[in-house]
Structure 1
């Protein structure tokens, strides 16, 4: 398996990018450079897409067992190189060792799930309203899929698109985030190359969004753009794709809430909230943005939450006991600190943390906040917990639904049916009773509503995104076209 990630990967070849710009890969904890990559430009991108088109024409005709065998080999290559992958996740994306281990496992599950997809490309034989006709429906690959990957869970969220795209007979071009060009892109070229994937099917062009971002979408080759990232960028991609009549699979931002009803098990709710808020520094689209607690249990919850949050270990992500590592870059730290400051000016109180050392932001807890303060209204994407009281279940529903996002959520109640009833009232793509919102299973539909995105990943649902249907009819006996033809004879 190639471990020199200083070059981009096009048509089965590792090559120097053609741009005069570079992608500087930096460790977010130490600030030290990891690798410098000569960036790809529009010519490289065009070459990559053309390679994918050529390779896909043959790949779609390949036997399903051959496609499955490649993906099974991918699992083996990943397992053989687990330490390498985890090391890169830690040093490039700031993942703690605990988070990197989970991300690796989730990615393995995605590939294993996708390995069965070549045998799920099923069609139908259906009746016809025309005598002597047989209707057939075929499921075919789209052709080429463009993937723009994120920096927060780069390995898992990129594999979530690559594996099913390859499994369903498509070619792929990946543009990784510039903060994680390896774990969000180039490492997959190495893995799939080692697994024996035919040349040209998977191409990775590391480059700046300002130089090749729009062209990733507008190029004539891709029929679908898979993007995970901010709603702002997702809107732009959607507009570009719409003008070019392309499909999109967009997993965007969230303003996820955990709701603690008055009959909740407080210990269970606190533990759920700690994980849902501080796991991977809160840099997950599903992370908790707001923790809403019934006023009758607010003090009890807050006391216990602070008691445990004080024990969170933060700092070096390479230390196995670290709970909270660095944010991806200084811009994220500054943005969050501004929202904290503005919210404090409006009456919120910092009960824990609130300071940063480099890119490490202390686990922070705010009380006395309202649902309209910046730290609640804006997607935090960092280790800041906001505890907000409510007085009634109806008020809690309104507070959760008050914003235009609808990705994930959670509710705690000792009455399962009550919790389920509450969950049905929340406008979101995913929600969990007596748990927290950070859940992702390879066989379950993943995606959001409203400003949180379009489409669904995982399981049978991703087949709908990455394939298309063709109606083919067969006229077994001569068709009678009635007077249109008879009057001509």
Structure 2
């Protein structure tokens, strides 16, 4: 069975009159410009209607036995594995991903569903002590309708990590993927859960722009919004959610530091740094955006990193064996190049790269970077490795902490020193003797400061907290007497 054939994609939106034709958006491969198909676009009105119908479907879904909900999630996990080759092919073409990255997305999607399958039978509350003659409970209940807004860079993972636990806990979901990756981040999930036996209306796909994004936040039935994307967009989602009294979980940008301590193995450090900065063309919130290298190693580190950058092949990942594919679109390519050029004009030195052809940006190393340079101060979201030296551990901590972001931190070298750094730098994630990019379905994930509202994804505790409401319930053996 072909899971994602274009004739299975949604052509009209839920509850739209048959006489109304949906506008469509072309699905384009960024590496080649190839037209892969067309996906129907939703409107704000579609999103409002979807919220109402999802609310109706959610009541029945939440009432299903826990074992039934768990079985749907397990079948979904199996389907990701069974259709891995087809889904990976879409991620490669639509998102510009190299095959290993696409395979990682599909394997994590399966793991997310298997982890979520345990949630329906997870203990759902606590027995509370009470001074009254009654039983007192705090129990977890489904929130109702959850909106999930996901970005283009890891379209499958960054959708499924919210969709799977929200469904498992008895919620309905409105899913708005980035229109640039509507198949990998949207259609694939809708088809997998359809084949897994999820009842109609419980998961609704809404591909659209900013107006649709606002509508899935403001729809009256929506109680929780799970957003992954830029800090600027996340601030707007948070403001809109607060105005409408919606709980918002925001996983936002990062400008993550990799600290190379004195005495670190230079070859291993440069390899880790290259992976951290160049994996998926640097289009990852956890990308290594700042390389802080002890002054005794900095010159050799820059040379080793530049050597790696110069020999990493760049091209179409669907037809060539490459290390880097294309950036997602011209707007992103132009922004990356502007940051590099502005930083060079301000005094940074290009040690490797700094050029592009079409959407293919060469892996770039910038040396002599200072704090006021754009390449140091901003999240680049491209394959650029800015390097700066430090003299003391206190200086390294200060430089790593000066960013407004606080998502992921990597520290390479002596574990004792690394533990001191880990305790001193504000960060939602810390990896000692690893670079900054990592994810597992059962691990809490999230950032502090401008990187978001903390760990709201991953693991039973975070997911239950994220996608349920707490209800206080009391029980007496008979009607209580009152003095009125």
TM-score in terms of structure 1 length: 0.94
1:62-211 alignment, distance < 5 Å: 62-130=64-132, 132-209=133-210, 211=211
Judge conservation of contact 2:350–2:365 (CA < 8 Å) in 1. Answer: yes
Q: Distance in 2 between matches of 1:266 and 1:434?
A: 12
1:54/1:20 Cα in 2 relative to 1: closer, same or farther (>3 Å)? closer
Structure 2 stretches of 5 or more lacking a match? none
Q: C-alpha displacement at 1:243, in angstroms? A: 0.8
Q: C-alpha displacement at 1:43, in angstroms? A: 2.6
Structure 1 residues 262-287: Cα deviation after superposition (integer angstroms, max 9, x where no partner): 12222221111111111101100000
Q: Distance in 2 between matches of 1:219 and 1:153?
A: 26
Check if 1:294 corresponds to 2:297.
no
Q: C-alpha displacement at 1:295, in angstroms? A: 0.7
Q: State which drifts further: 163-172 or 19-28.
A: 19-28
Q: Distance in 2 between matches of 1:14 and 1:376?
A: 48
Structure 1 residues 295-354: Cα deviation after superposition (integer angstroms, max 9, x where no partner): 111112122222222221111112463111100001011001111111111111111111
Q: C-alpha displacement at 1:3, in angstroms? A: 2.1
Structure 1 residues 345-368: Cα deviation after superposition (integer angstroms, max 9, x where no partner): 111111111111110001111111
Judge conservation of contact 2:80–2:109 (CA < 8 Å) in 1. Answer: no
Q: C-alpha displacement at 1:14, in angstroms? A: 11
Q: Distance in 2 between matches of 1:20 and 1:77?
A: 29
Judge conservation of contact 1:6–1:35 (CA < 8 Å) in 2. Answer: no
Q: Distance in 2 between matches of 1:208 and 1:304?
A: 42
Where does residue 358 of structure 1 map in the other structure? 358
Q: C-alpha displacement at 1:9, in angstroms? A: 7.0
1:426-445 alignment, distance < 5 Å: 426-445=425-444
Q: State which drifts further: 315-324 or 325-334.
A: 315-324
Judge conservation of contact 2:366–2:386 (CA < 8 Å) in 1. Answer: yes
Question: SS in structure 1 opposite 2:174?
Answer: strand
Q: Distance in 1 between matches of 2:395 and 2:235?
A: 30
Q: State which drifts further: 319-328 or 339-348.
A: 319-328
Q: C-alpha displacement at 1:477, in angstroms? A: 5.7
Structure 1 residues 421-480: Cα deviation after superposition (integer angstroms, max 9, x where no partner): 111111110011010111111111100001111142011211100011110112336656
1:39/1:217 Cα in 2 relative to 1: closer, same or farther (>3 Å)? same
Structure 1 residues 39-70: Cα deviation after superposition (integer angstroms, max 9, x where no partner): 11123212221221111101111111111111
1:10/1:40 Cα in 2 relative to 1: closer, same or farther (>3 Å)? closer
Where does residue 422 of structure 1 map in the other structure? 421
Q: C-alpha displacement at 1:121, in angstroms? A: 4.5
Pairwise CA RMSD: 1.9
- List, as ranges, runs of 4+ consecutive aligned residues in structure 1 with deviation greater than 6 Å: 13-17
How many residues align structurally?
479
TM-score in terms of structure 2 length: 0.95
Judge conservation of contact 2:306–2:364 (CA < 8 Å) in 1. Answer: no
Question: SS in structure 1 opposite 2:227?
Answer: strand
Q: 1:43 aligns with which of 39, 42, 45?
A: 45
Structure 1 stretches of 5 or more lacking a match? none
Structure 1 residues 235-277: Cα deviation after superposition (integer angstroms, max 9, x where no partner): 0000010011111111100010100111222222111111111
Question: SS in structure 1 opposite 2:440?
Answer: coil
Question: SS in structure 2 opposite 1:314?
Answer: coil
Question: SS in structure 2 opposite 1:179?
Answer: helix
